[in-house]
Structure formats: C-alpha cells, structure tokens
Amino acid sequence: MNDFDVIIVGAGMVGLTVANLFKNTRLRVALIDKSESSAKASVTGADEPKFDSRVSALSSSSREILTRLGAWTLIEQQRYCDLREMYVWDADGTGSITFSADDLAAPRLGTIIENSLVIEALTQCLESTCDVELLRPCSVDALEEIDDWVLLNTADQGVLRARLVIAADGVNSKIRELKSFEVREWEYNHNAIVSTVKTAKPHQKIALQRFMPTGPLALLPLSSGVNDNCQMYSSIVWSAEPAYAESLMDMTDKDFCRQLSKCYETRFGEVINCGTRQIFPLKQRHSVSYSKDRIVLVGDAAHSIHPLAGQGANLGFLDAEALTNEIKKGLNMGREVFDPVTMDRYQRARKGHNLGMMVLMEGFKRVFAEDILSVRWLRNIGMSRIDELKPIKNYLARRAMGLNT
C-alpha cells in the first residue's frame, strides 16, 4: 500500500505541476504535503475584493504548461491580470525603460496571478483523475535508503517507500537537508514585504519597478474579477535592507501607505489602503547537484532567487516539465523510473538556465545598490540607451517572458 514508483514531496505550485505531468504514465505516484490543505483563494463578491498577498508574474511558458494541464481554463474563470506594459526606473537619476507588449507584437508581457489560484486549479486537475494519490497532512521527518528504495518516515502516514523521490518542498527543503545536498548560498541582505494596495488611479495593466538604493520596489497590477475588472489594486513586492524593512513592517497602515506613495512617486495616485503585510527574508541558494542517488530536486528546493524579476516559479515550472519529460523518455527507452542517465539529462537541461537567471538577478541587484557616482551615472545612461535600442530591449523582454528569442 505504501510503495510507490515516485513520491513528490511538496504540493506547492511546482510539486503540483510535477504531479499533474505524471498523469497517464501508469506509474504509481504519490504527492505529499505537510499541511492539511492548501491556502484557499478568496475570490468573493464583497465590496472590497480580498486578494492573496502572494502573487506571481507568470511567463508565457508557464501559462502554456498550465494550459496543457487544464489548469488555465479553471484560472480563467476566476481572475488574473495580463500585463500590458512595465515601467522600470532608477530612483537616483533619470534612467528608465518601458517594456511594452505592443512593441513585441505579443498579447501580453506576462500574467499576474495569485499563487493560491494556481494551487487550487492544479489541485482540482489532479483530483479529477485517480492517477496520483494526494496524501496530506504528511510531513517527512527522516529518510533512509535500503536496496533500491527510498524510505520516507512521515509523522502522519507512517513509512512510505519509493523508487524515486522528487523534492519540491521549497526553499528550506527538508529532503535536501536530510540527504546533505551541497548548497551554495549567500545573503541578499534584503527582506521582501508583500501586500495588496489600493491606489487612487487605475493601473491600466501596467507594472512598475523602481530601483532604490535600499532595494527594488515593484507594483504588480491585479484584476478584481473576470466580470468586474476594477483596476485600483496592485500587489507590492518591496525588497529592502533588513533594518529598513523592519521599520516598514512596524509602521501603521496609514504611515506605510504614505511612505509607499512617496517611494513609487504616486504614479497611480496616492495609496489609499493596504492589506496585511508579510515579510520574507531573501537568500540566494543553489544546489550544486540537482540529484543524489534516488532523490532529485525541483523548484525552490533546487534554487531560490531574488524576486526582483519574478522568475522563481517560472523556473520551477520549467524544471517540472524538463524532469518529467526526461523520465518519460527514459521509460520509453526501457530505463527505470530512476536512472542516473535520466537525472543527468535533467540537470544538464536546467542547471545552466537557472544559474544564468540567478547571476543576472544578482548583477541587477548589485548595480542598483551601488552608490558610487560613476556607477550611478553609467546605469542611468545605460537604462536610457537600452530604452532607445529596441532590439536589445525586446530581446531582454522576450527572455523574461519565457519566449524563444
């Protein structure tokens, strides 16, 4: 009963995607999560819509994956906001860049969506078949390997055995720790504050990103519903040095809104109110190897990245697809569900790409944190030049959108 071909640990956006991609494979698959249920999306008809403060800017490749899995049709019936434009500017000068979907002849730059809606849709897709067993609450406390099996000791479901364990258990992955994966990590020296804010003027489906010496501030447009597209709400991701972030957390809502209005130069008017603020310490982590024996890492368990370009979940969706594709190819060629060749091919497909994105984000963060006059001058000139050089600008935008360039 407790023997599986594959156990996926973690039913976040990435684990659920992996699980859905295993449908129709005839493998015995279990998806386990330590929490009893996932956070429920709160799409209500109330006067003031309630939004999940965790949102993601999804690229077109992620949206394609969700479409293929049938999750997108469910999301469409709820709410999401297609990004028309993105305005990026430097607080310390005059440099700015505008990315626009029209310039790329694309329907959108990306899609802003609440994480809970993605999770809910992927869970529904999974529950519509009997291919994957969803076990929760089920928290892994220990693991050991005996012969060709991985044994997972869980607090709630006893011992589970699998030929392959896929760790999708997030940034502080227990599986990664239990298996002693070597991890390269460094502090960003930033904490990110997330919240939903209401502004006096509509966002017109425009995202804003302002680079300040203390860290970047982003406003991502939200839609209040398919039939009621009020454009007064945005989700903020405000990354700041820890002391400043703490002081922002300690402020009253009124003071926080006032400070936010000032910092984003009231581009959508004054900030009228804000929802609950949540804070996340940011750390860059990258596992040196993505697999070890019969354990393989995906999503944040393999890599965590600064949210300034909103790429973490997008990279995770691509990991999920690459890993399941390699496993399916291996099975078609007569290999076992776990095979070192398959694991190697997965790592080669994903590690370079993930690392490239992490280096790029680190570069952005450093250049914009620099206070030296010559660097400030150069980055302002650089931004304005890139804004004029459409081929380069469009290349950058297409990369971020997950389109082939």
The residues binding ligand FAD (CB under 6 A) are: 9-15, 32-35, 56-57, 139-140, 168-171, 174, 192, 194, 237, 280, 299-300, 307, 310-314, 316
Cα dihedral sign, 290-295-298-300: negative
Using the minimum distance from each CB to ligand FAD, give the nearer residue, 285 or 379: 285
Compute the least distance from the CB of residue 2 to ligand FAD, in Å: 15
| Local structure of 102: helix, strand or coil | coil
Query: CA–CA separation, 392 vs 386, rounded Å?
Result: 7
Using the minimum distance from each CB to ligand FAD, give the nearer residue, 112 or 376: 112
Cα dihedral sign, 180-181-186-192: negative
Compute the least distance from the CB of residue 374 to ligand FAD, in Å: 32
Q: Tell me which residue of 343, 356, 357, 355 sits closest to 290, measured CA to CA.
A: 343
What are the tokens at 132?
A: 């994957």
Compute the least distance from the CB of residue 278 to ligand FAD, in Å: 8
Query: CA–CA separation, 152 vs 67, rounded Å?
Result: 33
Compute the least distance from the CB of residue 388 to ligand FAD, in Å: 27
H or E stretch covering 234? strand 233-240
Using the minimum distance from each CB to ligand FAD, give the nearer residue, 43 or 236: 236
**Residue 205, by phi and psi: left (phi above 0), alpha (psi -120 to 50) or beta?**
left
Using the minimum distance from each CB to ligand FAD, give the nearer residue, 289 or 380: 289
Residue 154 pairs in a beta bridge with: 140, 158
Using the minimum distance from each CB to ligand FAD, give the nearer residue, 33 or 52: 33
Using the minimum distance from each CB to ligand FAD, give the nearer residue, 20 or 56: 56
Other beta carbons within 10 angstroms of residue 187's beta carbon come to 10
Compute the least distance from the CB of residue 307 to ligand FAD, in Å: 3
Query: CA–CA separation, 204 vs 180, rounded Å?
Result: 47
Using the minimum distance from each CB to ligand FAD, give the nearer residue, 300 or 321: 300
Compute the least distance from the CB of residue 404 to ligand FAD, in Å: 19
Q: Say if residues 281 and 172 touch (Cβ distance below 8 Å).
A: no
Using the minimum distance from each CB to ligand FAD, give the nearer residue, 56 or 199: 56
**For the purposes of burial, counting CB atoms within 10 Å of the CB of 297, is it exposed (0-12), middle (13-18) or buried (19 or more)?**
buried
**Chain-centroid distance, C-alpha 242:** 22
**Residue 306, by phi and psi: left (phi above 0), alpha (psi -120 to 50) or beta?**
beta
Compute the least distance from the CB of residue 302 to ligand FAD, in Å: 8
Other beta carbons within 10 angstroms of residue 154's beta carbon come to 21
Query: CA–CA separation, 357 vs 347, rounded Å?
Result: 15
Query: CA–CA separation, 243 vs 40, rounded Å?
Result: 32
Q: Say if residues 69 and 125 touch (Cβ distance below 8 Å).
A: yes
Compute the least distance from the CB of residue 8 to ligand FAD, in Å: 9
Compute the least distance from the CB of residue 171 to ligand FAD, in Å: 6
Q: Say if residues 81 and 222 touch (Cβ distance below 8 Å).
A: yes
Closest residue to bound ligand FAD by CB = 12
**For the purposes of burial, counting CB atoms within 10 Å of the CB of 20, is it exposed (0-12), middle (13-18) or buried (19 or more)?**
buried
Using the minimum distance from each CB to ligand FAD, give the nearer residue, 217 or 313: 313
Using the minimum distance from each CB to ligand FAD, give the nearer residue, 16 or 97: 16
Using the minimum distance from each CB to ligand FAD, give the nearer residue, 92 or 314: 314
Read off φ and ψ for residue 40, nearest 5 degrees: -85, 140
Compute the least distance from the CB of residue 14 to ligand FAD, in Å: 3
Compute the least distance from the CB of residue 96 to ligand FAD, in Å: 21
